[in-house]
Amino acid sequence: MSSNPTSLASRSILRGIFSAQWLPIDSAGRLDRACLAAHLAFEKRKGITGVLALGSTGEFPFFSPAERQEALAVVAELAAPLPVFANITDIRPKVAIELGRTAKALGYRAVALMPPIFYPVSQADMLAYFLRVAEAVDLPVILYNFPELTGKKIQLETVAAFAERAPMAGIKQSGGEFAYHQPLIALAKERGFAVYSGADTRLPEVFGLGADGCIGGLVNMAPELMVHLFRVCREGQPGNPSPAFEQLKHIGATVDRLTFPLNVAAGIEARGFATGEPKAVVSAESAAIYRGIVRDLRASFQEWNLELAPGRAA
């Protein structure tokens, strides 16, 4: 494991819009390849940069290690030739390492790691976990900060220590602490890694701060809006960001009527794509909210002349 931050800073940074990919399953709980293929083909056509497999939007805790390995293989095949990242987070270091080695064999560009979930963990032990997995996997690592889901924040000093000692490709900053983008971006500029935001509805601010891209759930339902905002607000291409920004905020407010990540499925269905069977138990109340989101967003997409999947325009 290198301790030379200068050598680590020479790694190329991938910038752009990455789909935090939704993974549909069939009634038997198996990954629905046909549904996933249709959805990924749509996202690729709309210009996304790449894909994060088995992230929080992909509901990775519902899959067994073997099912996660299978999903990694399918996503790598269907997303090609785009770069793909693999979330290999697991409370068991052995499982995370096995998944990481699978990702490397499949040609993944990097792996993503959240803090180990469920039990409390100190920052020192969190760092030790990240380093142990990174060394065993031998791929660039994207740290994945989402305290609302994991119950623990990756503190800035932990990020800095990891960047000094491991091949850090970037960090994904998700959750409610938007201000945390600033110190992360400042550190990233010093150490040569990327910052990817999960603040889908605040992309002009994110890119104004200097973030390198977005790994977002809303990419699944509005990829062209987010690609447009990246090109205009981050890359400086000509264009007006306001219409896409307002539409994205409307989408965010609509799906926020339901809990994450089921709300992402509602948005995908509104766009006309099959989302498979629910992985969690869904109450009648949530199912009703889901149907309302599909109805309302479908109307919005039609009003904005956004393409719906063939045969799903009604």
Domain of 88: which CATH number? 3.20.20.70
What lies within 8 Å, CB to CB, of 234 at 6+ separation is: 15, 207, 211, 212, 213
Domain housing 147: 5-238
Quick one: pLDDT band at residue 10, thresholds 50, 70, 90?
A: very low
**Is 309 a member of any domain?**
no
pLDDT score of 29 more than 60: yes
- Whether residue 101 lies inside any domain: the answer is yes
Provide the percentage of residues in the chain whose pLDDT is more than 70: 95
Predicted confidence (pLDDT) per residue in 122-153, tens digit = 999 999 999 999 999 999 999 999 999 999 99
DSSP 92: S
Q: What is the mean pLDDT of residues 180-204?
A: 98
DSSP 101: H
The pLDDT, as a whole number, for residue 311 is 55
- Kindly state whether residue 183 falls inside one of the protein's structural domains: yes
Judge whether 302 lies within some domain: no
**What pLDDT score was predicted for residue 313?**
44
Q: Which of 17, 21, 14, 100 has its CA nearest to residue 56?
A: 21
Task: For residue 223, say if its preceding peptide bond is cis, omega within 30 degrees of 0.
Answer: no
Distance of CA 25 to the CA centre of its chain: 18
Q: Is residue 279 part of a domain?
A: no
pLDDT number for residue 187: 98
**Does residue 314 have a pLDDT over 50?**
no
How does residue 211 score in pLDDT terms, banded at 50, 70 and 90? very high
Number of domains making up the chain: 1
- Give the integer Cα–Cα distance in Å for 222 and 199: 14
Cβ pair 49, 18 in contact under 8 A? yes
Q: Is residue 290 part of a domain?
A: no
Residue 196 belongs to a domain: yes
pLDDT band at 270 (very low <50, low <70, confident <90, very high): very high
- The answer to whether residue 228 is domain-embedded is yes
Residues 58-103: pLDDT tens digits? 999 999 999 999 999 999 999 999 999 999 999 999 999 999 999 9
The residue length of the chain stands at: 314
